[in-house]
Amino acid sequence: MSPPAPARREERDSFGPIDVPADALWGAQTERSLRFFAIGTQRMPMAIVHALAQVKRAAALVNAELGRLDAAKADAIARAAAEVAAGSFDEHFPLLVWQTGSGTQTNMNVNEVLANLASRALGGEIGPGRLVHPNDEVNLGQSSNDVFPTAMHVAAALQARPLLDAVTRLRALLHARAEAWAGVVKVGRTHLQDATPVTLGQEFSGYEAQLGLADAALRQALPGVCALAIGGTAVGTGFSTHPEFGRRVAQRLAQDLGEPFVVARNAFAAMAGHEALVLLHGTLKTLAVALAKIAGDIRLMGSGPRAGFAELRLPANEPGSSMMPGKVNPTQVEALTMVCAQVLGHDAAIGFAASQGQLELNVYKPLIALDVLDSLRLLADATASFAEHCVEGLQPDEARMQALLGRSLMRVTALVPHLGYDRAAAIAHDAQARGLTLREAALAAGVDGEHFDTWVDARRMLGPA
């Protein structure tokens, strides 16, 4: 015998009746989206759902203040929204990203769930006989066209917090290592060839400065993300809502969530374009570029342990090979640089999607939301992991650095002020050709040994003469 079919109930919307699972908190429009947009496996990010719930909570309370919504219903909606925002009902938001470009179906998914929860809290039922209407009351004074981009911005602003914390932590670690290793002299390298000496601390000070530029750019972009489209309704005019609605919702969101949310100066721009998120993600791309450079350098300096640079000893977190015992690989670097590659790809997709707004609405919103939030989460996690499991445990191999420095021919640059470029170059070429040290080649060319030792002092080559 086949198992009995799951219980269903009938829901209705303006297109007529449709069956939904009996225990589902969603309604007809969510069910239609499930049936007509079975595309891929990527669900709408829960960060968007939770942000929408925060917006619905603020909207219900503001509508009650403005006398547009019954106080008891507003309170029930607000309480339900707080539970949804806390993640208590995530299983009732099954819609995929690849749906309508305005996010309408996810907005309605949230409206339907909140209407059913609020109805149940008021002593009513879920389904067609619910006491709270998803459109007329939960969505009062709103349109998907202003609510969904508002949720995108709220979610992005909140998701930026862990990334800012992770970047701050990594910068502090890099700064500490720059100071601790200020006296560790090593071979500098340009074009992956030997160059004049540097200290390990100088290199790490550069990494901290690179990260600092990206960090500053990210922080400068966030105020634009905190400008919300709420109150614009369908096309940006604010038709069908109270003139104070948008401002009050933004103010309440700012109070509740601790971010400086305000209404966008121009609702038409906030709905038809997404330049604020493009700018934000541009800073994430900059951060990814800086992180990839830093991680790549650490990978090179940690290469070995016998046949590479071997200047840094990487933390041995886990076995590096299923075949070669004792192998330690730069796995944190690999994870971080893969994340950076993903972020660069997201940036291309976001730029194209944001350029495709037509007239009063951009209809690539779910894609933009997915990729912005994915980049924020990936960079936050990968940066924190790289700091904790790689940078914090790095150890310099000073003996190895001294050995490589002693063999470097580019210390010959210190002879140029005394011998001239051409004679110094001849000494370097002779040393390389005959396998001599730079000192041996210089003495063979007639340079006094005491003078050589005075002139070719790596520590005197670490800054201006």
Domain ranges of the chain: 8-140, 145-399, 409-460
Q: What is the mean pLDDT of residues 352-375?
A: 96
- What dotted CATH number matches 8-140? 1.10.275.10
CA distance 34 to 40: 12
Q: What is the mean pLDDT of residues 96-108?
A: 97
Catalytic positions: 191, 321
Per-residue pLDDT tens for 110-127? Answer: 999 999 999 999 999 999
Q: What is the mean pLDDT of residues 182-188?
A: 97
With 80 as the cut, is the pLDDT of residue 4 above it?
A: no
**Residue 408 annotated as part of some ligand binding site:** no
Q: What is the mean pLDDT of residues 60-78?
A: 98
pTM exceeds 0.85 for this model: yes
Per-residue pLDDT tens for 262-276? Answer: 999 999 999 999 999
The CATH architecture one would assign to domain 145-399 is Up-down Bundle (1.20)
Out of 58-62, 241-245, 436-440, least confident range: 436-440
Query: Which pLDDT value is given to residue 6?
Result: 77
Per-residue pLDDT tens for 138-181? Answer: 999 999 999 999 999 999 999 999 999 999 999 999 999 999 99
Q: What is the mean pLDDT of the chain?
A: 96
With 80 as the cut, is the pLDDT of residue 327 above it?
A: yes
**Band of pLDDT at residue 357, cut at 50, 70 and 90:** confident
With 80 as the cut, is the pLDDT of residue 5 above it?
A: no
**Residue 139 annotated as part of some ligand binding site:** no
Per-residue pLDDT tens for 18-30? Answer: 999 999 999 999 9
Query: Which pLDDT value is given to residue 3?
Result: 66
**Band of pLDDT at residue 405, cut at 50, 70 and 90:** very high
Q: What is the mean pLDDT of residues 362-377?
A: 98
Percent of the chain with pLDDT over 90: 95
**Residue 145 annotated as part of some ligand binding site:** yes
Q: What is the mean pLDDT of residues 346-374?
A: 96
**Residue 240 annotated as part of some ligand binding site:** no
CA 397 to chain centre: 33
Percent of the chain with pLDDT over 70: 99
Name the β-bridge partners of 21.
8
**Residue 186 annotated as part of some ligand binding site:** no
With 70 as the cut, is the pLDDT of residue 319 above it?
A: yes
**Band of pLDDT at residue 320, cut at 50, 70 and 90:** confident
**Band of pLDDT at residue 1, cut at 50, 70 and 90:** low
**Residue 184 annotated as part of some ligand binding site:** no
Q: Does domain 409-460 have CATH number 3.40.1160.10?
A: no
